[in-house]
Structure 1
Amino acid sequence: MSFLRDAYECEPVIAHHNDPERFRGLLSVAAVDRKVAEQDLREGMLAMADANRSVDSSDFVADSGAIDRVAVARLYRRGATIILNQVHQSDIALADFCRSVERVFSCHVQTNIYLTPPGSQGFQTHYDNHDVFVLQIEGEKTWRLYDRPVEAPYRGERFESGRHAVGEPRHTFVLKAGDCAYVPRGLMHDASASGDAASLHITCGLLVRTWADLVLEAVSEVCVNDPAFRRGLPPGFAHRDFDRTAARDRFRALISELSSRAQMDGALDLLTEQFIQSREPAVLGAIESASRPLARQYRARPAPWRLIDEEGGLRLIIPGGEMTFSRAPRPVIERALSGQAFAPEDLVHDQAEELIRRLTTTGLIERLD
């Protein structure tokens, strides 16, 4: 894909689809209104922001920690943006959307919802420490992109107001319903609702693992297996008059040892397993189908998995955990998880029914009837 090759982590991308209904199945202003009115929202689940005046959480959060719905409506009417955090954790449509993005980037994907009144702006100019896709659901929003003072900031490297000069916008554009934009982390930006209607958009954030994560894991693997790296630092190293000459020689020798011994594969295997297991399983339908007879056909859901040969059987790394198999051969499991539709008899194994039920329970496969 040209986006992954040319733009990802480097340049913003704006896509005008001329299709107002493109993302309508994910959310609507009416759905946000219902969530605020119906759900037991607590502090942290909903936030509010206004670029023109300070909004404190005490303005809309009760002493009990519950969100004050009337206060939210009042602040919104005065121009504050309503922010619903991590909605994909309670909304299946958004959860499925996040899973589809996760399959492309192999990273955690989160969603925040922003509902801004007409003519208002939620945040002053800032940059994010993670890449985002912006999906415009309803209304319009005018975006302004500025300089990029920090190249690929770390996840914990938060924006500090006043530290970087904003300057003049380098690029201004309007997102209408059905449009989307990609903004790489570190790029200064701001946005305001334009037109006569409220602006509703979803920000889809990519929380990636970095090369630094991989290098640190590979270094840790070497250190665990070599006591030379676990020796204590020279006694007295914190003294003002400590002679660092010998320490520098030792440090260079250890770095040289690391460069020759550190291996990528073991570290990448570990990060891969951690990523897969940290995903939320897609178990919709698992309870409903638990007591039903086997279907005529099944198909694997597009979830990440990794099958590992171990003494005594196989270990299957899956979203939410892992499974072990002592009898089912690798080709049978791989056939079930291939993504191609299959009938129970296609697995050609005396425990095919039990295998199907286990895979259905964990959300890896689904019925097609």
Structure 2
Amino acid sequence: MSPRWQLNLDRASFLEQYWQRRPLLVRGAIEGFVPPIDANELAGLAMEEEVEARIIEQHNGRWQLEHGPFADNAYQRSAPWTLLVQSVDHYIPDVEGLRRMVDFIPQWRADDVMVSYAADGGSVGPHYDNYDVFLLQGEGERLWQLGQNCDESSRLLPHDELRILEKFTVKQEFLLQCGDMLYVPPGLAHWGVARGECTTFSLGFRAPRILDMVSRWADQLVESIEGAEFYQDPERDTSIRPGEISAKDVHQVRETMRKALESVKDEHWFGELVTEPRSEPPPLDGDARAYWASGFSQVELLGAARLAWQHQPNNAVQVYANGVSRTFAASVIPILEQLCGNGSFRIEQSKNNKAPNDRSALFEFLLETGVIHVQ
């Protein structure tokens, strides 16, 4: 089980005054913090085929990007460079514990923990993100500069993959040491430069695009509306100018569409959207019922798993697991709370207890969707 890190932060005050509003520096955010992975271990992880890793180097005033996996010689460089490894919490349980440290933000909003190593002067350049991020300093020191608010109209340097700002106006500056944390809201330009060698843990949050939400809602709408339904305008006025689409016509169209949208009662599309995993989970080796019948004492939530739930009327709960949903009795909510909160659930079951019930059905579903493993 991953450790339970204690964050030195007034959660209510943070959400009220800073979340998605303005940055916040927290000195000594984790008292006595010992980074759960060091630079050498991170470099080794970046050599693995299944791990998403990048190296960004600033050479002769130009920004260069390389994708992993990397070999030993990739780490021998003379120009300032940084290694970024995505989703380290999926592979290192102790890093996963850092993500749980900020569980006062709903779990469906959490994305992953990216860990970076930078040589002296290493950086990814001035940039902005479309999501919230907590920057926790690991080994060494990094100087963070905060700049202007940005959006899609902000000019970027020409590059096929990197999003480096053409202009950066420094407004605040902080030198972070081990255990310090900087919160950066979406759209705020920031630039971190290593002072000597250092590592940084970036706790990112996903934000579904409005376009994706509208698309999913529209898909649900198309499935729910009868094909024989048509636009109606029983209170039509006499048309005075031939061929004209009047303002009243457009208003009636909007009202018709609004009523159609409000008729969609199935909200499962949202939970399925926000729990979609970065990549397809590995298929279950065997049958889920066979796993359940064999008997086990511990259920562990996988680091890459996306799990959420929604209380429904009629004493039911909708469970979302890696982009798939299913309805269960509300009696399984304590299990879901334990899995989402602690990452594990202890269970007492004999091999002879094979009778189907809500609990067994839930575990079978979570096994099938690649959310848990059992011990």
Interval of TM-score (by shorter of Structure 1 and Structure 2): 0.5 to 0.7
Q: Match for residue 48 of structure 2?
A: 39
Q: CA deviation at 1:170?
A: 1.6
Correspondence for 1:305: 309
Deviation at 1:145, TM superposition (A): 0.8
- Which whole-Å CA distance do the structure 1 matches of 2:217 and 2:323 have between them? 25
Superposed counterparts of 1:107-126, under 5 Å: 107=109, 109-118=111-120, 120-126=121-127
**Higher helix content, 1 or 2:** 1
Match of 1:239 in 2: none
Contact 2:23–2:185, Cα closer than 8 Å, also in 1: yes
Shift of 1:200: 0.7
Cα deviation code 1:176-211 (max 9, x no counterpart): 1111111112111212112xx411102222221256
Q: How does 1:102-141 map to 2 (within 5 A)?
A: 104=106, 106-107=108-109, 109-118=111-120, 120-141=121-142
User: Are the structure 2 counterparts of residues 318 and 121 from structure 1 closer, same or farther at C-alpha, using a change threshold of 3 Å?
Assistant: closer
Q: Which residue is equivalent to 2:234?
A: none
Q: Aligned AA for 1:305?
A: W
Matches within 5 A, 1:1-369: 1-17=12-28, 19=30, 21-22=32-33, 24-25=35-36, 27-36=37-46, 39-40=48-49, 45-50=53-58, 53-57=61-65, 67-70=70-73, 72-75=74-77, 77-95=78-96, 97-98=98-99, 104=106, 106-107=108-109, 109-118=111-120, 120-150=121-151, 160-161=156-157, 165-167=167-169, 169-194=170-195, 197-209=196-208, 213-214=212-213, 217-218=216-217, 221-222=220-221, 225=225, 245-246=244-245, 250-263=249-262, 266=265, 268-276=267-275, 278=277, 294=295, 303-306=307-310, 316-319=319-322, 321-322=324-325, 330=329, 332-334=331-333, 336-337=335-336, 339=338, 343-344=348-349, 350-351=355-356, 358=364, 361=367
Shift of 1:147: 1.6
Contact 2:29-2:181 at 8 Å conserved across structures: no
Q: TM-score w.r.t. structure 2 length?
A: 0.65
2:185 aligned partner, one-letter code: P
Structure 2 unmatched runs, 5+: 1-11, 158-163, 232-241, 339-344
Q: State the alpha-carbon separation in 2 of the partners of residues 204 and 18 from structure 1.
A: 13
Provide structure 1 residue ranges, at least 5 long, that are not aligned to the other structure. Answer: 232-242
Looking at structure 1, the residues matched to 113 and 147 of structure 2 have their Cα atoms a distance apart, in angstroms, of 24
Distance in 1 (alpha carbons) for counterparts of 2:76 and 2:187: 33
Cα distance in 2 for partners of 1:122, 1:220 equals: 42
Query: How many Å separate the matches in 2 of 1:19 and 1:207?
Result: 23
Q: Look up the equivalent residue of 1:148 and give its one-letter code.
A: N
- Give the structure-1-normalised TM-score: 0.66
User: Helix, strand or coil for the counterpart of 2:187?
Assistant: coil
Question: In structure 1, how many angstroms separate the alpha carbons of the residues matched to 2:55 and 2:263?
Answer: 41
What is the CA RMSD across the aligned residues, in angstroms?
4.8
Equivalent residue letter for 1:318: A
| Number of matched pairs | 325
SS in 2 for 1:146: strand
Structure 1 CA distance for aligned equivalents of residues 108 and 206 of structure 2: 10
